[in-house]
Structure 1
Amino acid sequence: MSLVLPRTALSISEPDSLDHDGVVRFVRALEEYGHRMVWLPEVAGREAFTTAALVLARTDRLIVGNGVARALERVPKSAGSAARDLAAGYPGRYVLGLGVSGAVRERGVGPLPFLRAYLDGIDQIAADVPRVLGAYSEGITKLAANRADGLITFLVPPEHTRWARETAGPDLFLSVVQWAVAGRDRAAARDVARERLAYYLKLPHQIAKLTRLGFTSADLAPPGSDRLVDALVACGTPEQIRESARAQYDAGATQVALTLVGPLDDAKLAAYRALAEEN
């Protein structure tokens, strides 16, 4: 299956801190501004498939991807059935994204064989649903090239994007989630970014990924060095943020999905509106 999705997208964490009506107002605003696709990470508070169903049902045109649903949270039958129904109910508007962390080793299996077997289960139920894998390792990146329609990466500099493109091959859809802090200078942006980054600097698979990219233990010690934050987080005006996105495209990304870090206030909504102008 050839995966064709908008060149720009958003990866939105705001639903984790919003109630039902707040989520509806927020995603409707994004659609009204002109955004065409959102990825929904499954990090805290909200279940992947019910949130995707809510966003699909309360918008008219937005393409919605689980970016990514945690495979450890549910058996393949549950994920496949949910994905199949969403794809059937909203043709052309839904993408299944799956990911797994090193926590799977507590079950006595590595991430690669676990996800390979998981996809076998998905194939029995939802083989025709477009799907991407969240991956940083060589093994799962190659699995995405062989068993999925695309790859989605998160918290990576362009150097990783270049490696992922070389590893996955020239044709696989590659979405890169790019963090950004809008409307602030670099020093202020670092403070905002560090509040969000603190969670990820406690996760072994994120630490392992960033270590492979050349960051030192000093860089990765909370709250993260200036070097680390500057490599992972864009900042400034909408045009400056787009310039950071262009570096990811130049490195091989098919799509860049922006995550605006910081509180959801009027300034952030204005940034969302401005970033939609060139969609």
Structure 2
Amino acid sequence: MTIALGRYGIWQPAASTTPDQAREIERLGFPTLWAAGAPADLAGVDELLEATSTLVVGTSIVNIWRGDPGVAAAAYHRVSERFPGRFWLGVGAGHREHTPEFRKPLAAMNAYLDALDAGGVPVEGRAIAALGPKMLALTAARAGGAVPYLVPPAHTKLAREALGPAAVLAPEMKVVLDANPVRARDTARPRIANPTLGLVNYTANLRRLSFTDDDLSGGGSDRLIDALVAHGAAATVAARLAEHHAAGADHVAIQVITPRHATHPDLPGVQLQVHDYEVVDVYRTLAAELL
């Protein structure tokens, strides 16, 4: 099974992504839409695929603690059989801070993959949100690729070395389209600070990449923000995104940040992107530069 992700795709929260938005993303030329936080039953994914003709939809990610893997396996077959070659199941181990039942993530992911195997989900049809060396090694053995979140190109280089040449590597990177670096960092910093700098799996990974306690405090140092967010004019953003490809990525999932946000319905204090004309304008500008 071959799924053509293309070089760049768009990352959006699944709960706030509409079929109209999916059509517009496809119309602009982006080949892939990442439905973030999709439920195990993949509710809503069918509608996004029905609304489009060639768009690939991936989940980045289905949280393994929220829903039975048997449900996810059945949903995978439902979607992939209706839309062959246009769906990729991305799963992840979530965060101990948000998950009361959280236990050793590597063992939990292995058990979840065992259930996907039992449900007939092919290895090449699934990806893992792998950050650390052990989860990357598991991904190389038991998945078709990795969909790491909140990673700079330095992580992509390490991930490619760990995965080998065959696995698909599709990191996420945030974008602020603003040529004023101070203002761009001010726009990005709240999205980096909350919730990600409060989640130990992300901070541990950033420490492995030589970021310090000073970098991780106060909402994130300028050095940290610059590493995690491509900001500037469109050409500058394109050059920063291309660093992931130079480091070994096959595809980059772009998460656009603008000054407008809304509160997450399930996580008080966590902010989500508001999908309005401003975001679509950024997509349009990026499409002209990247595609």
Contact residue 175 and residue 253 of structure 1 kept, 8 A: yes
2:88 partner letter: V
- Structure 1: where are the runs of 5+ without partners? none
**Aligned 8 A contact 1:83 1:126 in 2:** no
**Equivalence map 1:153-232=2 (5 Å):** 153-197=148-192, 198-232=194-228
Deviation of 1:108 (Å): 7.5
* Alpha-carbon distance in structure 1 between the residues aligned to 2:46 and 2:103: 31
Aligned to 2:117: 123
8 Å CA contact 2:20–2:51 kept in 1: the answer is no
Question: TM-score, normalising length from structure 1?
Answer: 0.90
What is the match of residue 264 of structure 2? none
> Is the aligned partner of 1:55 residue 2:66?
no
Partners of 2:173 and 2:102 in 1: how far apart? Answer: 33
Q: Distance in 1 between matches of 2:7 and 2:171?
A: 11
| 2:6 paired residue number | 6
Deviating beyond 3 angstroms after TM superposition, the runs of 4 or more aligned structure 1 residues are: 1-4, 104-109, 263-267
Tell me how far 1:137 sits from its aligned partner: 1.3
- What does the per-residue CA deviation read over 1:189-244, in whole Å, with 9 as the maximum and x for residues that have no partner? 11111121121111111111111111111211241111111111011222211101
2:281 to 267, 270, 277: 270
* Structure 1 CA distance for aligned equivalents of residues 181 and 49 of structure 2: 35
How far residue 106 of structure 1 moved from its aligned partner, in angstroms, is: 5.9
Q: Which amino acid aligns with 2:228?
A: L
Who is 1:85 aligned against?
Answer: 78
Answer 1 or 2: which has greater helix percent. 1
Amino acid at match of 1:175: A
- Give the partner amino acid of 2:281: A
CA contact (8 A) 1:38 1:65 kept: yes
Moved more, 69-78 or 262-271: 262-271
Are positions 1:64 and 2:75 aligned together?
no
3-state secondary structure, aligned to 1:276: helix
Provide, for residues 103-150 of structure 1, a one-character-per-residue CA deviation record: whole Å limited to 9, x for no partner: 299658411111111111101113237111111011111111111111
Contact kept, 8 Å, 1:165 with 1:174, in 2: the verdict is: yes
**For residues 10 and 126 of structure 1, what CA distance do their matches in structure 2 show?**
28
Aligned length: 271
RMSD of aligned residue pairs (Cα, Å):
2.1
Task: Out of 228-237 and 260-269, give the one that drifted further.
Answer: 260-269
User: Bigger relative contact order, structure 1 or 2, given CA contacts below 8 A and separation 6+?
Assistant: 1
Aligned-residue offset at 1:10 = 1.4
Do structure 1's residue 237 and structure 2's residue 229 form an aligned pair? no
Where does residue 129 of structure 2 map in the other structure? 134
Deviations 1:34-77 (A, max 9, x none): 111111111xxx63611322311222221000011101101210
